[in-house]
Every structure is written in structure tokens, then in C-alpha cells.
Amino acid sequence: MKTVAIIGIGLMGGSLGAALRRARPRWRVVGIGRKKKSLERARRAGLIDEAATDLAAGLRGADVVVVATPVSLIVPFVKKIRPHLGAKMLVMDVGSVKADIVRHCARLFSAKSGPAFVGAHPMTGSEKTGFEWARPDLYKNAACILTPVPGAPPAALIRARQFWRAAGSRVHEMSAAAHDQWLAAISHLPHLIAHALILSAAQKPGARQKVAALAAGSFRDATRVAGADPGQWNSILNMNSKNLREAARRFTQTMDKLMKQKFPISMLGRARALRAGLDR
Amino acid sequence: MKTVAIIGIGLMGGSLGAALRRARPRWRVVGIGRKKKSLERARRAGLIDEAATDLAAGLRGADVVVVATPVSLIVPFVKKIRPHLGAKMLVMDVGSVKADIVRHCARLFSAKSGPAFVGAHPMTGSEKTGFEWARPDLYKNAACILTPVPGAPPAALIRARQFWRAAGSRVHEMSAAAHDQWLAAISHLPHLIAHALILSAAQKPGARQKVAALAAGSFRDATRVAGADPGQWNSILNMNSKNLREAARRFTQTMDKLMKQKFPISMLGRARALRAGLDR
């Protein structure tokens, strides 16, 4: 039997609780948050077993602690909980950007003894926020990237892998730096594009109505994630802005090349083959 | 009772036949194509009532003629059928770019007498091609943009509206020039972005595997239309390249502005509100 404490019961934290309660009914899931009422509703919705508004009380007896707050609050929360952690606890986060977070958190932990920290990024979510949208299958078949620091205790990494597999995810491992480079290309850039695309299309007079009346699948698909939470994405994009700028530079260069070469069938065909590879 | 001749029984032409046969069972739908075997299969699949490989024979007795070929073949086909058209026939196309097509076709028709031409762009489709993917509801609730030339006979326009409404579409009207500007922003640019995004993400060594393993919803959504037919999109993008370049310029300016201003929550919030407007 294992006790899991989740700090922040929103879409990510609430879904994680629901996934673990379903897959590991003997585990105990403690939800930690500020608002007693919301936590109680989350408990009644079956997302957590117990609710705690006091950090120290909520962490007591935990084997695994997951910080599932908005990305800008992860480092502050890890600092805050550090004095309350037992020697065998494993702490993880769910942040979409890793280098900054891992750098700040890793120095709070020793590689040799005491509690361990492993950065984690479960690549799932939705443009919705709040535990009302939580669902037990949010983590199912999602990639979860672990970003251990060099010299991290292997036992902690093994536990981290087991934990995310219990939630239903496919576990990958890479350095925090590599994570942030890949994520810039495959997640943060598509988000930036979605925002820029809908903002630029709406510039012309009367555009809002026209776009709503005429927008076809390609536009709807490409702008869907512009519905994501502005505050959270302001944090994510800024925390990874160097890699994002580099990915954006490569992207606009490719766009310019396509235009200059008159959209050669060979390049369009290569893009099509690459896209087909994603559905395999 | 009305006879409709459709030239080109692929996804668009086949689905149009199926939609009309379902909505107007008393109409007669003649499918015109090169391959007798394919036409026969389309007939057995219920997409058309009759098959014709001879243009003149297929057009005989038609009230409405729809040229549903790939976009690069529309003008050649309209020129080819012009001598075979009866005085009361209405000719339309389904091309995704309109200014070029309408300019070339309109001069083959008189505004005062004889057959009439009305450019049409039913905004529907799929990244699949071929009549095997045809379905009777492809046109349902899709926007169909009519681009009549100045001075076009009002009766032809009324018939065109009735025709596309019979197929289930919402009819809009604008000039071919306005159509091409809007389409650059809400369809051709998202296609170009999809191609550039997946090509640029796959540049790094080992990228194909990584992208396939890690690509989340935002990347999959934004690149979906890169699966579209390379030959057809080479034509479409080139036929509308001036407007597309202008839309791409506005888009990259907005992307640069977002990066320079550090992704302000106000701009991300405005994008979110605009996106919500698409789902209303």
C-alpha cells in the first residue's frame, strides 16, 4: 500500500488522483489544496481519498508527492514543502518546462540520502482547467517524460517509472535540456502558432464574423490550443523562450523556403509522409 | 426533375452526387469521368445514377454542370465543355481558389444569353482523395462561397444558391478577389503552416522517431492537413500565392510581436476569446 500526496487538484492533479485510484485501489490519494470546498467536491467526485488544506498534515506518511500546480508555482511549492519531507519520499512535478524547474529543485535534494526529486512531464492535458474536467483516462497512453539530474539515485528513477506507468502513461527519459528543446518544437511552437494565426486572421475589419462563418477544419485544428489558459501559457512560453525562438526561426525559414520554391511537390510530399508517420 | 452532370467523380464530385441523390431523389445525377470501371463502382456505391466517359454524351440534357476536377484542370475542362453546353445550362466549379478560375471562365460566357457560369467553392473536403471516401453528408452545414462576376445574370445566381442548399450547404457570396484573400488567411496559410511545422520539426537528427513518440495534441492538430494531396496543394498554393504571402507576412509579424513582448497575457487572452468565438 502506498500513499500519494498531490498538491494542486486541478485538471492534471485531479485526473492523476482518479487514474491512480482506479488502477491501484489499495493506494491512498491525498489531495492538498487551498480551498476546502473544492477539495471536498473533488473527493466526492472520486478524484482523491482524502483532502488536506494544511501542507505538513497532507504530506505526513506520503511515499510519493506530486506537485501539480501551475508551472510558475512549482519551484515555490517544492521549496515550501522541502522541510516537511520524510527521508524516503519521492517528489515529482508535472511542469511542461523542465530545465529551470529541475535546476532550482535539484539543488534542494541530495543524491545520496534523504528525499529524492525527479522532474516529470506527463504530456497530456486539455485547454480546459479545473478539476471539474478531470477524468481517469487523461494519462492513459500519454507520453510521460522523466528528466533525472545526472547522478540521481537509480532507486528514485525506478519508483518514478513505476508510478507513471501505474497512471497509464508511456515513460520516456531525457535530460531537462533535451526535453525543453523537443517540447519547443512539438508543443510550445504549435501553441505560439495557434495564437499568432488567430490574432493575425482577425486583424482585418469585419474579420471576426467572417472567420467564424467560414473557418474550415484546417483553421479550427491549427487554432484549437489558442483556447488554453493565458496565464499558464505566458509562464510556459517565457520559461522556454530561448528554445522556442530557435524553433520558431527554423519554422519560419522552412515556411520562407516553401514560398520561395513555389511549394514544391517533393517538399509537400515529404511533409505528408512525415505526418502519416504520426498516425502509425 | 433536374439533371445534374458532375465532371470528376472523386471525393468532392462523388460526395456531391450522393448528397443530391439523397436530398433530391427525383433528380438525375450523371457522373462524367475517364475511367469506366471507377465510374461503374461509383454508380454501384450510390454516388451517381448514370456514368458517362464521353463529355458530350454526359452533358446532354443537363440543367446544371459541376466541374469537380482537381483545381489545375478546372479551366481546361470548362474550355473543353463550352461548345457542348445548351443555352439554359448553369456551369459551376468547386475550386479552392477563385480569381484565376473565374477570370478565365467568365470570358467564355455571356452575361445576357446562353449558358451561365458561377464560380463556387464548397468549403469541405478531407485530406483523403478518391470516390472511395465520398459520403453524402460531406456538404452538410459546410459553407459554400459563390463568387459571381459583376453583371452575372441574377437567375443563374438564384439557381446556384438553390443547388448548393439542396446539397446541404450554407451559401455565402463575395467577389473572387475577396474570396481568395479570406481563404489565404483561413485555409491556405494553415496548410502552409502544417507543412512547414512538420518539416522543420523533423530536421534534427533522430527527429522522426522522437516526434512520433512525443507529439502531443497541439502538434497533431496543427499538422493534420499536411496529409493532404501534394499535387493539388501545389496548385492551390501557387494559384493564390500573392494573398498567401501577404497572410504569411501578417502571421509572422504577429508571431514576432508575441515573442518580443514576452507573450503578454492580454494577447493570449484575446486569442482565446477569438477561438471561443469559432465554437459558438
d(CA A31, CA A16): 10
Query: Can you tell me the mean pLDDT for A166-192?
Result: 97
The one-letter code for the residue type at A49 is D
DSSP helix/strand/coil, A149: coil
Check residue B114 and give its pLDDT: 94
| Residue A263 with chain B: CB contacts under 8 Å | 192, 233-234, 237-238, 241
Measuring CA to CA, how many Å separate B53 from each of A8, B33, B48, B173? Answer: 66, 5, 13, 33
Q: For the whole model, what pTM was predicted?
A: 0.92
What percent of chain A shows pLDDT beyond 70? 100
Cα separation, B49 vs B42, whole angstroms: 9
B chain contacts of residue A203, beta-carbon cutoff 8 Å: 250, 254
- Over residues B125-141, mean pLDDT: 92
Average pLDDT estimate for B128-147: 95
pLDDT at residue B108 greater than cutoff 90: yes
Average of pLDDT values for B167-182? 97
Distance from CA of B143 to the nearest CA of A (A): 6
CB B176 within 8 A of CB B99: yes
pLDDT, mean of residues A255-271: 98
Chain B CB contacts of A226 under 8 Å are 268, 271-272, 274-275
pLDDT average, residue stretch A130-158: 94
pLDDT at residue B112 in the model: 86
Read off the pLDDT of residues A190-232 as tens digits, 9 standing for 90 and up. Answer: 999 999 999 999 988 889 888 988 987 899 999 999 999 999 9
User: Distance between CA atoms of A17 and A29, rounded to whole angstroms?
Assistant: 6
Cβ B172 vs Cβ B145: under 8 Å: yes
What is the pLDDT, as a whole number, of residue B150? 83
Residue in A203, A214, A231 closest to B250 by CB: A203
For helices B241-260 and A241-260, the axis angle rounded to 10 degrees is: 170
B227 to A268: CB separation less than 8 angstroms, yes or no: no
Contact B224 A218 (CB under 8 A): yes
Cβ-contact B17, B31 below 8 angstroms: yes
Q: What is the pLDDT of residue A118?
A: 97
What is the model's pLDDT at position B23? 97
| Interval B212-250: pLDDT, tens | 889 878 999 999 999 999 999 999 999 999 999 999 999
What pLDDT, on the 0 to 100 scale, is given for residue B129?
86
**Chain B hits for A260, Cβ within 8 Å:** none
Strand ranges (DSSP E) for B102-259?
Answer: 116-122, 143-147, 170-173
**Whole-number average pLDDT of chain B:** 95
Amino acid, res. B44: R
pLDDT at residue A180, rounded to an integer: 98
Is 80 exceeded by the pLDDT of residue B62?
A: yes
Q: Is the pLDDT of residue B280 over 80?
A: no
pLDDT band at A170 (very low <50, low <70, confident <90, very high): very high
DSSP H stretches of helix in chain A = 11-23, 36-44, 55-59, 74-81, 99-106, 154-166, 176-183, 189-201, 207-214, 217-223, 230-239, 241-260, 265-278
Q: Look at the block and give the residue holding cell 485544428.
A: A221
